[in-house]
Structure 1
Amino acid sequence: MGTLPSPREARQFLSRFTLPAPVQKTSLTSSTHLAVSGTDSSPSSNKTFVDSLLWPTDHVALIKLEGPFEHDNLIAIANTLVQLQRLGLMSVVMLDNQTWWRHQSPHLNDALVSGSDQSAEIRRRMMNDMADVVEEIERSGGRARPIYDGVFEDAKTSPQQSHVISERIVVADTAVDHVLIRPGSRIIESCLKLRQIPVMIPMATTAHSHRLPVQSNKALVALAKYMGSTVNEASQGAGHGSLVPMRLIVINTSGGFPLTRAKGISGPTHCFVNLKDEYDAITDDLANMNHIPEELAKSYRSDLDMIRDCLAYLPPSCSALVTSSPSLTLITNLITDKPLFSSTMRGQDPKVMLATTVLRNGLDIFTFQNNLQGMDLKRLQSLLETSFGKSLDADGFYARIQDRIEAVILAGEDYMGAAIVTREGGDVSGKGEKTETHTLASVAYLDKFSVAPKSQGIGVADILWKKLTDQFPDLVWRSRSDNPVNKWYFDRADGHIKIPGTNWTVFWYGPKGLGLMSDYIEICRGIPASFLPKPLLEIQK
């Protein structure tokens, strides 16, 4: 429940998913008056005005349905697509099914030509699956249009390559290197204007009008590049809304990307992936998996490459979602833009965590070991002050941590978030920290954990926390007992205890925590506050 919509997230959703301005409540008379009395009454401007009235939404999701699905699952998926449309998110659906390509000769993809028996059989399977999806959407109360032609072209045979959007996608066992969007194609726009869900199969047309089955992931990347480019057309008054997807969604039967490098993070799948930082590691994991079939691992690798390539053509605000549990997951993610469950939370049900992975093109992560050299301390101070809403005692804070820095983990070049870890207790700077009875243990202490307000809600905190758990198997930190962030800490700590006589609560994770509890309390008790007190702030104002 920790990532179900909060009131703030619900308000953000309502502010984003409102009707476009032309279709807000207005009388017919006032709308007509605007059209007649406008300064530009040319036919093109009138057409643009009418098109803006008819355009249903500026929120689009590019969805891949990766079957085969049982009939009950297909019904659930269709119901979810219709419900998403009612909530303001139109779906553009691409179908995929590994059974399309089974029982074929090893050289089928090298011999795909119109009229071949094998190619015809693949087209027949594609058409049957498309008909099933369209039928279930219609039965669920929605409207859908099957699209099997007129969108994609085979680049090797297209005579108009200079006028189309293309991308080379390397996928094993296929001979088609480029998939293009057909010039002038407005089929998707036509569907959305009529509030129909376009349901496509990956069929490319050759220069000789032959229909050629291709891999879905190639078609999706070409489609993402085309749709990502429409933001410029919309801003120039092309007569329709932007097709830029706000979500890229893969609905399959196997769930999110499997997690094999645990490193302190529990659960069988990645729940949140920062592609810029984690792509290589996940690719290596997928190449060396022994507990899942090779065909499934190959599918995961192909989807990971496809998602990375698609997000590269879409705005940074666009996220990807891989799930086998579409209903609650998709609707929750639509509102919160984050995973239903967090990979950094402790004690979750692995069966529930199996369902979903959220991916973003992500942030560059920078780690500074043992010192602050190379950091912009002014920007770090600004991040801490805006995150905590207090004024930092900069001189005192930096003087205290200068000889104690263990690591600073920084999210993004523009300082979107930071985790500052110091080494406390033990022998610090040549001086042993002692109580009346013993020398305190040397421990890793999370001095500051902050995310810039403008970056909250997009997974920066989880990215930083995963880095912390990778580097520090045991960690301790403190927080004021009335801090609203404590709920997030409770979900990620193995234990906590309040320091007697203070307003501080000590948190920790790791196997050594219980044995070091008394040391944790003494260390946290002795660390001075980093921020100026409020009365002093009021005097300074």
Structure 2
Amino acid sequence: MLSRMRCWAGVRRPLTALLSNGSAPSGNQSLTRSRELILSVLSTVPSPREARKFIDSVSGHETLRSQREFEERQAQLAIEQASGVSALVPGEFLHPHTEAQAPMRTLAALVCVDSLETHGVGKLLAQMQRIGVAPIVIVAANGDHLSAVARTHVLADAVEREGGRARPICGGVFGSDVCSEPITAAIADGQIPVVAPLAVDEAQRLVVLDTRSVTALARALAALERAGSMSVARLILLGSESGIAAGGELQRLVNLEEDYVRLEESCGQTGALQLMRTCLGILAPTAVGIVASVHADPSLVLKGLISERPTAVPQYKKPDSHPVVARVLDGVPNYQPISGHAKEAPLIQPSQFTLLRHGFRIQRHTSLDTCDLSRLRSLLESSFQRKLDMAYFERLRNVGIQVIVAGEYQGAVIVTHEKTSGQYLPYLDKFAVLPEVQGTGMADILWDELRVACPSCMWRSRNDNGVNRWYFDRSHGHKRSPVGVGTRWVFFWYQSQTGERVLTPSDVCEGVDVAQRIPPSFL
């Protein structure tokens, strides 16, 4: 708890400053809106790290993390000044222990509203504006041009009623090319551009565009991003459905490169799916898609916008599929405690939106013979920044394995089948992601693939590993090794949610003992 409080101390002041942007509260209504927004943000930010990342992105600056980087950038500035080239403003690169102000880039979200409902959407857009995100809104085609103009003004008015500032734009954007000037001018004036999907045809008549207008706008915004003036981090589709569903099951996270064909055949929202695939392929690889209902709680959409991951996992169920309240010890369902007292675990409700990534293709291997060992070794060494002991691959050949590879060996999960007195133990031996693909959702994509391949699993991590916070969020339980007994480990596990393999107390104890004895993989 103390360490978490210290982490939050580093984001408290910038968060307060961020939320205080705009005019000061005037009257009870403004005060209520400010309190709602602060409570909404505080209740949805899952970790200090994600809060800091979001604050940095909307503030247009980042912390320089090393003296070497600081010196290199100062040298670059000096060269530009000496050569007479238009240089960055002196003072942008400060001491590495201070926050260095980088050139401002607008953090934007392209929002497509496909519904006549405006109240909840107006509140969401106003809150996005208050936390430093610039929504660029396009009203989906629905009816004739008069209807499109009316809906644009109605939505802009809904934003204004919620304390935001909006500008309806009913022309001048779409033509033979997209003119982004009306949009950037509105953002520069502190207003949310609400764009009607209207264009003038060759006969000088107003015509209503279909979803191609969203695609065309995404291309124009991607060009602004390449020019360095804007970062389009989110694509949000707000309609009548609460996300993408397949077979009656809401999809929490969609890896479009891997899941598109399957979902296209089984879901009823192929239009939203196709639009997401096209636009996320146009925007930067770090862009995130969100499909939600216009009736969704705005705080849920804000959570996806800030954290870049789904809000919850499906609740634990018995094999008969009836929901239960699980008995837990350190989060492990359905067995009597090893020690201490059990507590009632709350039912975790399914998330109410779908988060989508352009993603990566997935390869699955059950033998090293089908893996590219050279690339796998390079991935592991780059990810862990250490030299791999070649005896590691020999050990893998003597146990059952599952290897999940993402993309062109840009990420991988290695699970070994460790021998126990009963069934084998699925053990997460390696979870590796290349540094250059961080921010693309690679870790979440691999984790979802792992959960499908291994409904229950255990793993270990050094006590001082900075990734442990991420593991704590995704595990059902943990146990720390005793002080003074070799390496300080934290042993984690998660449980099957379908009853396929429920770990017993003896499974957990034996698994910890097995994991303790696994030899090191790096020199």
- TM-score by length of structure 2 reads 0.67
1:248 aligns with 2:235: yes
- Contact kept, 8 Å, 1:323 with 1:329, in 2: the verdict is no
Shift of 1:373: 3.8
- CA gap 1:521/1:395 in 2 versus in 1, 3 angstroms: farther
2:198 is matched by which residue type in structure 1?
M
Alignment match, 1:364: 361
Are the equivalent residues in 2 in contact too, given 1:336–1:457 (CA < 8 A)? no
Separation (CA, whole Å) in 2 of partners of 1:309 and 1:123: 25
Name 1:136's counterpart in structure 2.
158
Paired with 1:445 and 1:185, the residues of 2 have a C-alpha distance of: 52
Contact kept in structure 2, 1:10 and 1:335, CA below 8 Å: yes
Aligned to 2:493: 507
Check if 1:91 corresponds to 2:135: yes
1:94-114 CA-to-partner distances (Å, cap 9, x unmatched) read 1137xx45xxxxxxxxxxxxx
**In structure 2, the residue corresponding to 1:152 is in which secondary structure?**
coil
Q: CA deviation digits over 1:2-39, x for unaligned, max 9?
A: 97242222222233223589xxxxxxxxxxxxxxxx97
User: Any conservation in 1 of the 2:120–2:298 contact (CA below 8 Å)?
Assistant: yes
**1:241-285: CA deviations, max 9, x gaps?**
34x522111122321112438xxxxxx422221110111111122
Which of 427, 449, 474 is the matching residue for 1:445?
427
Structure 1 position 396, deviation (Å): 2.9
Is the contact between residue 475 and residue 492 of structure 2 (CA under 8 Å) also seen in structure 1? no
Q: Please say if 1:380 is aligned against 2:349.
A: no
Identity of aligned residues (%): 30
Deviation at residue 313 of structure 1 after TM alignment = 1.3
1:362 is displaced (CA, Å) by 0.9
What corresponds to 2:111 in structure 1?
63
- Superposed counterparts of 1:103-142, under 5 Å: 122-142=144-164
Residue 525 of structure 1: aligned partner = 513
Secondary structure at the counterpart of residue 398 of structure 2: coil
> Which residue of structure 2 lines up, in the alignment, with residue 207 of structure 1?
202
Aligned residues: 411
Q: CA separation in 2, counterparts of 1:147 and 1:456?
A: 36
Distance in 2 between residues matched to 1:250 and 1:17, nearest whole Å: 21
Structure 1 residue 495 displacement after superposition: 5.8
Q: Which residue of 1 aligns with 2:338?
A: none
Is the contact between residue 270 and residue 343 of structure 1 (CA under 8 Å) also seen in structure 2?
no
Residues 7-22 of structure 1: pairs in structure 2 closer than 5 A: 7-18=48-59
**Cα-to-partner distance string for 1:68-104 (whole Å, 9 max, x where unaligned):** 21xxxx334223323322332212111137xx45xxx
Q: How does 1:56-455 map to 2 (within 5 A)?
A: 58-69=106-117, 74-96=118-140, 100-101=142-143, 122-153=144-175, 164=176, 181-182=177-178, 186-215=181-210, 217-232=211-226, 234=227, 241-242=229-230, 245-260=232-247, 268-286=249-267, 297=268, 300-324=269-293, 325=296, 327-342=298-313, 352-377=349-374, 379-385=375-381, 387-388=383-384, 391=386, 394-415=389-410, 417-425=411-419, 440-455=422-437
Distance 1:422 1:94 in 2: 49
Report the Cα distance in structure 2 between the residues aligned to 1:56 and 1:441, rounded to whole angstroms: 56
Aligned to 2:234, the other structure's residue is in SS state strand
Separation in 2 of the partners of 1:421 and 1:509? 15
Task: Answer yes or no: is the 8 Å Cα contact 1:369–1:405 preserved in 2.
Answer: yes
Structure 2: runs of 5+ lacking an equivalent: 1-41, 63-82, 87-102, 318-325, 327-344
How much has 1:225 moved relative to structure 2? 1.6
Match of 1:160 in 2: none
- 8 Å CA contact 1:368–1:407 kept in 2: the answer is yes
C-alpha displacement at 1:525, in angstroms? 2.4
Q: Are the structure 2 counterparts of residues 343 and 480 from structure 1 closer, same or farther at C-alpha, using a change threshold of 3 Å?
A: farther
Residue 463 of structure 1 is matched in structure 2 by: 445
Residue type at the aligned position of 1:424:
E
What one-letter code is carried by the residue in structure 2 that aligns with 1:472?
C
> Structure 2: how far apart are the matches of 1:194 and 1:483?
45
For 1:18 and 1:493, locate their aligned partners in 2 and report how far apart those are by CA, in whole Å.
Answer: 32
Measure the CA separation in 1 of the matches of 2:519 and 2:209.
59
Q: Which of structures 1 and 2 has the larger relative contact order (alpha carbons within 8 angstroms, sep 6+)?
A: 1
Letter in 2 for 1:137: V
| 1:479 and 1:505 in contact (8 A); partners too | yes
Quote the Cα distance in structure 1 between the aligned partners of 2:444 and 2:156: 38
3-state DSSP of counterpart to 2:245? coil
User: Cα deviation per residue 1:352-378 (whole Å; 9 max; x = unaligned)?
Assistant: 53421111111222222222543244x
Distance 2:217 2:137 in 1: 11
Q: Which amino acid aligns with 1:214?
A: L
Unaligned runs of 5+ in 1: 22-37, 42-54, 102-121, 154-163, 165-180, 236-240, 262-267, 287-296, 426-432, 434-438
- Whether contact under 8 Å (2:415, 2:429) holds in the other structure is yes
In structure 1, how many angstroms separate the alpha carbons of the residues matched to 2:242 and 2:352?
4
Residues 412 and 269 of structure 1: CA distance in aligned 2, closer, same or farther (over 3 Å) = same
Letter of the 1:319 counterpart: V
- What's the counterpart of residue 113 of structure 1? none
| Distance in structure 2 (CA, Å) of the matches to 1:134 and 1:514 | 52
Question: 1:393 and 1:143, CA in 2 relative to 1: closer, same or farther beyond 3 A?
Answer: closer
Question: Is the alpha carbon distance of 1:83 and 1:472 closer, same or farther for their aligned partners in structure 2, counting shifts above 3 Å?
Answer: closer
Contact 1:274-1:361 within 8 A present in 2 as well: yes
Contact in 1 for aligned 2:222/2:232 (Cα 8 Å): yes
Structure 1's 446 and 143: CA in aligned 2 closer, same or farther, altered over 3 A?
A: closer
Partners of 1:516 and 1:505 lie apart in 2 by: 15
- Secondary structure class of the residue paired with 1:363: coil
Deviations 1:225-247 (A, max 9, x none): 22222345x36xxxxx34x5221
Q: Which residue of 1 aligns with 2:37?
A: none
Query: How large is the RMSD of aligned CA atoms in angstroms?
Result: 3.8
Residue-by-residue CA offset, 1:156-179 (whole Å, 9 max, x unaligned): xxxxxxxx4xxxxxxxxxxxxxxx
- State the TM-score, normalizing by the size of structure 1: 0.65
Which structure is larger by alpha-carbon Rg, 1 or 2? 1
Is the 8 Å Cα contact of residues 4 and 332 (structure 1) preserved in structure 2? yes
1:444–1:474 contact (8 Å) kept in structure 2: yes
Is the Cα contact below 8 Å between 1:251 and 1:326 reproduced in 2?
no
Q: Distance in 1 between matches of 2:316 and 2:190?
A: 40
CA distance in 1: counterparts of 2:218 and 2:514, whole angstroms: 54
> How far does residue 474 in structure 1 lie from its aligned partner after superposition?
4.3
Following the alignment from structure 1 to structure 2, what is the Cα–Cα distance between the partners of residues 56 and 195? 14
